[in-house]
Structure 1
Amino acid sequence: MPSSSPLHSIAVFCGSNYGFNPDYVAGAQALSREIARRGIRLVYGGTDKGLMGVMADAVLAEGGEVLGIITRLLFDLGHLHGRLTEHEVTPDMRSRKTRMSESADAFIALPGGLGTFEELFEAATLTQLGEHHKGVACLNIGGFFDPVRSLLDHAVNEGFMKTEHSQMLMFNTDPAALLDALEQWQAPTVTKWIGSAA
């Protein structure tokens, strides 16, 4: 379907488990429907597990496009989703993340574990450093990312981050509002070094 959004592809980072709160699955499905409705391609980790599989299933059910990028290890274990529009197999996690970043215009994190947190912060760090100029957002289902927001504020208060960079990550509980914010987002123009102009 033709895209009604300035964003053509969005990479979503999320758990390969479902979580204990059923709102996590419902939130992933709602975001997927909104992504498909806007004609945005979903880029994700390629598996059929947990919220990752929920996202892919829901986008495909709405007639949307899904690119799965999976590591050779997970592919060999049989974890590739079987109905994707397109998939790529990468040698390792580092190359997987690189390809996801290259294939996306923006990033959204849903609830997840270590991999989700690592991918979220790497995407935000690359934006902070100016290696790309792509928005990063969190769908804050059930307040899951409230501790992340508190951690960013704490880093500012302790002199390790500028306010502009702590506010660079967007948080919202509503998928449509979150996508609206990503579509309108502009990268901050300040350097990362506190007390330095360069």
Structure 2
Amino acid sequence: MNVCVYCASSALIDPAHLVLAARVGEEIARRGHALVSGGGSVSCMGAVATAARAGGAHTLGVIPRALLALEVSDPDADELIVTETMRERKALMDDRADGFLTLPGGLGTLEELLEIWVARVLGMHAKPVVVLDPGGVFDHLRRLVDGLVDSGFVRPAARDSLIWTVTVEEALDALEAGAAATPPAPPAGMPTAVEIAEGE
């Protein structure tokens, strides 16, 4: 499967997060999967890609042109796609992935997690969405969503569609199980659920 990993590109973080990202890359490779990432070579984004390649995994990086210098693009990626916009970047990452794994990160990581999670809730895809957070960085987010459920703004089923894990093995197990349960894509030429809903 192609595992899309959302994670930090900031250098000003606890080195433990880099170790976690590298472990994820190693496990992706060990299980024979491929990596889809944001195409950066620094911080956690670089650590997961470097470790995945070292283990023999194919790595695809997708980066918008405006972030080439800021995120320091990954020159060793097996595939590096440069897009014109962030929306194109995320769309390509979504399309190429069979499942999504979020590691601790900042605003960009949160945006990616929430967008792909909401898309699953709305039935726009059925791919697994998993969070790996052994240190509890996203505990406040988890409590916030629980509060939204209690207030009636979020359905329990929507909350529960996001899988929370604390070990690398647990996270990859959840991704594999979710991907195995994902319905196959419609045959070429057949409209998708989104297209039907949009009247296309």
TM category (shorter chain) comes to: 0.7 to 0.9
Counterpart in the other structure of 1:59 = 52
Counterpart in the other structure of 1:152 = 145
Distance in 1 (CA, whole Å) between partners of 2:144 and 2:155 is 13
Q: Deviations over 1:19-42 (max 9, x none)?
A: 532221111111111111111110
TM-aligned CA deviation for residue 52 of structure 1: 0.4
Q: Deviations over 1:109-133 (max 9, x none)?
A: 1111111000000000100001111
TM-aligned CA deviation for residue 141 of structure 1: 2.9
TM-aligned CA deviation for residue 184 of structure 1: 1.7
Q: Partner letter of residue 90 of structure 2? A: K
Q: Partner letter of residue 35 of structure 1? A: I
Counterpart in the other structure of 1:105 = 98
Counterpart in the other structure of 1:120 = 113
Q: Deviations over 1:50-88 (max 9, x none)?
A: 110111111111111100001011236682111111111
Cα RMSD for the two superposed structures: 1.5
TM-aligned CA deviation for residue 152 of structure 1: 1.4
TM-score for the superposition, normalised by structure 1: 0.86
Residue 163 of structure 2 is aligned to residue 170 of structure 1: yes
Match of 2:42 among 49, 71, 74: 49
Counterpart in the other structure of 1:137 = 130
Counterpart in the other structure of 1:96 = 89
User: Cα distance 1:166–1:62, how it changes in 2: closer, same or farther (>3 A)?
Assistant: same
Quote the sequence identity (%): 39
CA contact (8 A) 2:38 2:61 kept: yes
Distance in 2 (CA, whole Å) between partners of 1:25 and 1:77 is 19
Question: Which segments of 5 or more consecutive residues in structure 2 lack a partner in the other structure?
Answer: 183-200
Question: Which segments of 5 or more consecutive residues in structure 1 lack a partner in the other structure?
Answer: 1-7, 188-198
Q: Number of aligned residue pairs: give it.
A: 180
Distance in 2 (CA, whole Å) between partners of 1:184 and 1:112 is 24
Counterpart in the other structure of 1:84 = 77
Q: Partner letter of residue 172 of structure 1? A: T
TM-score for the superposition, normalised by structure 2: 0.85
Counterpart in the other structure of 1:9 = 2
TM-aligned CA deviation for residue 107 of structure 1: 0.5
User: Cα distance 1:20–1:78, how it changes in 2: closer, same or farther (>3 A)?
Assistant: closer
Distance in 1 (CA, whole Å) between partners of 2:81 and 2:21 is 23
